[in-house]
A = this chain, B = another copy of it.
């Protein structure tokens, strides 16, 4: 028999990734980081008027999914877009969405 074109594991990962990004707050975070290059957690949660813990959660999700990366500088942690992850996702969406 022919093996499937669809690897369940990869599929699950990709779905999980898109699902994670498809959230208003997380899109807002990504949008800000397209303009400001990098921001620390305080800047982010103040700009979005959300709880600090909430921002930290969202950031962690985006980092786990490979969209963001972080760098610590003293007490602050700066988050920034990782490579061309966003562009790749944009391409992915265009491929998927007929």
Q: Does residue A5 face the partner (Cβ distance < 8 Å to B)?
A: yes
Q: How far is the CB of A47 from chain B (nearest CB, A)?
A: 13
Number of A positions contacting B (CB below 8 A): 40
Q: How many copies does the complex hold?
A: 2
Please name the residue on chain B nearest to A6 by beta carbon.
B27
A97 to B15, CA, bound (A): 10
Contact check, B18 vs A4: say whether CB atoms are below 8 A apart: no
Seed contacts A11-B27, A85-B98; 17 additional CB < 8 Å A-B pairs: A4-B34, A5-B90, A10-B97, A11-B21, A13-B96, A14-B22, A14-B92, A14-B93, A14-B96, A15-B19, A15-B21, A17-B97, A18-B19, A19-B19, A66-B98, A83-B98, A95-B95
